[in-house]
Structure 1
């Protein structure tokens, strides 16, 4: 497969990963999902609808989806402030912000209850209160919900609450500030709609902290979105001071309410922009990869003869074979043969050939004999391996020394030795198989494994750029997991998009050069080419 096809396939795979990731995590508009890749679990809130009136009334509707039957027996919501029911004259309630439960509606066959700020449990129904003690042992303080003794079957269940809020209000002469925390430790809310009714026009600005959509429609404000599990779910209102007369709350004089409110909420638009930027990056990532390939990894074209009629002068023959034969780092035995010719020319070894002979040995494999014709070859070592000018030449000379006798490497003797070992193996001698494999490995070492790092001089690596991208997205993932829970999944998708680059042996990641091979001008091929063997 050529380079252009590989990069196109890679970009298509990266784009598909991005699209699939956004689809699965609800990253497309209208497909938001609070559950993410891990799913919603055994129970979650399918829809949450709330109506908030500026007289302090809050109406909530929960529709729960239970997947596993016989596991759950309580559906509830709790608050982080005192929760009461039917005790308006309590001293604590008269002096502190609190929430009052007005009414509760639970599914048929269940018992609605409240466990108030004092830890008292009350079953809110005309039925027998025999379950009060059991509910009290299970519920937490400031909790309201419903209890089913026989546990819930799988299905959908609806809960309705009406609360009256008695919140703290921070006011000056121009503005009042109300912060309503609806939840922070909760089930996934897969669909959220909050309607704030404001017929008097008291609301100047509304802030939400979960990257939801906020719109003003006539005299109501509507907040729509999702709330993943255990994420902060709250709204803030900047109000006309006259609203303090509508809400039975606890007013506190605070200077410069507007400035403090705007300052506290200034970071949330940044989170929203970051979330949008991450989603845009998923689409742009294939373009970024294509740019990196075009700028840093695209192979340059050079015209190189397919065969040489001389031994290269400025570069070692094995290095020329390594770099300019096919792709960089793609080496074969011809580089070994060329090195022998070069050592012969430099009078380090002396190569002698005689008449043709038949051979039944295949080197370096040991799968079985193979009938070949070759010239008898004898190499005389004129100098020791110290005469080698680089590690590969030294390795070749050591190989010749290891299999030479009286400084003469005779191919006939090597073939005879290998054939003898092979016959011993056929005869059942298992110990000789190791010796034969040692010979094979040493031959592979000189014929297939040169100093590949030497090719780095000719190859410009693009790996550092992809590693930089991976590191950047990893950092984004860490930051978003700390500051922006919804952005975690998008950041994870971006990380996944970097993986195919490591699975492809692409030239844009290895750098390199593209070689156009051709014959020399007279079309003749010399016997002394470094790309042919001694045969």
Structure 2
């Protein structure tokens, strides 16, 4: 075999290996998703603390899940609290499902049902500070879109120049295949996404944090904001030495 033919074969093999590696890189995340995944997650933070989340849950195998949900690490409440908390406003649920909120103090509210048995089940099975949808007959395979709306009342550390906001979203969860979080750019000086592999992209007057997240990776956003942001976010300010 002459030298030119050997080189051609090596190039062909290397090209084939590269193509195979690309295919595996795309396929492997799907192989490890399991039979329940968040196919799409889109969230938007307003300058006034309004936070809207849209979840698209993908159930790959029917008859296994009765609850599709997210919980908060910080207290979730429909009423004002005297400490930092997530203020629940409302939710939009798919037809044929029951929406629920279980607040930080175990108070349960249902949307789409007044059956005491449903409330009892949610009270027993859901964690505190959890919102989600419930199907007593189990969810068939398919996609289920849910929208949650809150007003955030976070702790805000500040000094004479800046305000620090640490938005903790979730730390125990199923995989997020496609995630995108939009935050206003006007007061932002620096953004630190968690996990760090998430991409931060400017888009007009906003920043978009995007990517995919494996199960149980901590998801959150730390932002260094201007001092003026302290007056816009309905949080709980704490002065720290600069």
What's the counterpart of residue 21 of structure 2? 21
What's the counterpart of residue 229 of structure 2? 243
Render the CA deviation track for 1:422-469: whole Å, top value 9, x for unaligned: xxxxxxxxxxxxxxxxxxxxxxxxxxxxxxxxxxxxxxxxxxxxxxxx
Note the residue ranges of structure 2 that are not aligned, 5 or more in a row.
Answer: none
> For the structure 1 residues 246 and 127, does the alpha-carbon distance in structure 2 shift closer, same or farther, using more than 3 Å as the test?
same
Render the CA deviation track for 1:161-214: whole Å, top value 9, x for unaligned: 00111111110010001011222222221111211135xx22222221332222
What does 1:124-139 correspond to in 2, within 5 Å? 124-125=111-112, 127-139=114-126
How far residue 2 of structure 1 moved from its aligned partner, in angstroms, is 7.9
Greater fraction strand: 2
What's the counterpart of residue 34 of structure 2? 41
What does 1:336-347 correspond to in 2, within 5 Å? none
Of 200, 204, 208, the residue aligned with 1:218 is 204
What does 1:141-160 correspond to in 2, within 5 Å? 141-160=128-147
Return the structure number with greater relative CO, CA threshold 8 A, min gap 6.
2
Render the CA deviation track for 1:114-149: whole Å, top value 9, x for unaligned: 111112322234533431111122111211101100
8 Å CA contact 1:46, 1:63 repeated in 2: yes
How far residue 77 of structure 1 moved from its aligned partner, in angstroms, is 0.4
Q: SS of 1:24's equivalent?
A: helix
Render the CA deviation track for 1:210-238: whole Å, top value 9, x for unaligned: 32222222322222222222222211111
What's the counterpart of residue 189 of structure 2? 204
Note the residue ranges of structure 1 that are not aligned, 5 or more in a row.
Answer: 27-32, 257-535
Rounded to whole Å, the distance in 2 between the matches of 1:69 and 1:126 is 22
8 Å CA contact 2:97, 2:112 repeated in 1: no
Greater fraction helix: 1
How far residue 246 of structure 1 moved from its aligned partner, in angstroms, is 1.4
> For the structure 1 residues 130 and 22, does the alpha-carbon distance in structure 2 shift closer, same or farther, using more than 3 Å as the test?
same
Q: SS of 1:130's equivalent?
A: helix
- Structure 2 length as normaliser, TM-score? 0.90
Render the CA deviation track for 1:14-49: whole Å, top value 9, x for unaligned: 5433432233223xxxxxx7x616242211111111
What's the counterpart of residue 408 of structure 1? none
What's the counterpart of residue 193 of structure 1? 180
- Structure 1 length as normaliser, TM-score? 0.42
Aligned length: 241
Higher CA-based Rg: 1
Render the CA deviation track for 1:218-270: whole Å, top value 9, x for unaligned: 322222222222222211111111211111211111223xxxxxxxxxxxxxx
RMSD of Structure 2 on Structure 1 (CA): 2.3
Render the CA deviation track for 1:464-494: whole Å, top value 9, x for unaligned: xxxxxxxxxxxxxxxxxxxxxxxxxxxxxxx
Rounded to whole Å, the distance in 1 between the matches of 2:140 and 2:174 is 18
What's the counterpart of residue 69 of structure 2? 76
Rounded to whole Å, the distance in 1 between the matches of 2:39 and 2:139 is 16
What's the counterpart of residue 370 of structure 1? none
What's the counterpart of residue 254 of structure 1? 240
Residue 67 in structure 1 maps to residue 75 in structure 2? no
Rounded to whole Å, the distance in 2 between the matches of 1:213 and 1:245 is 28
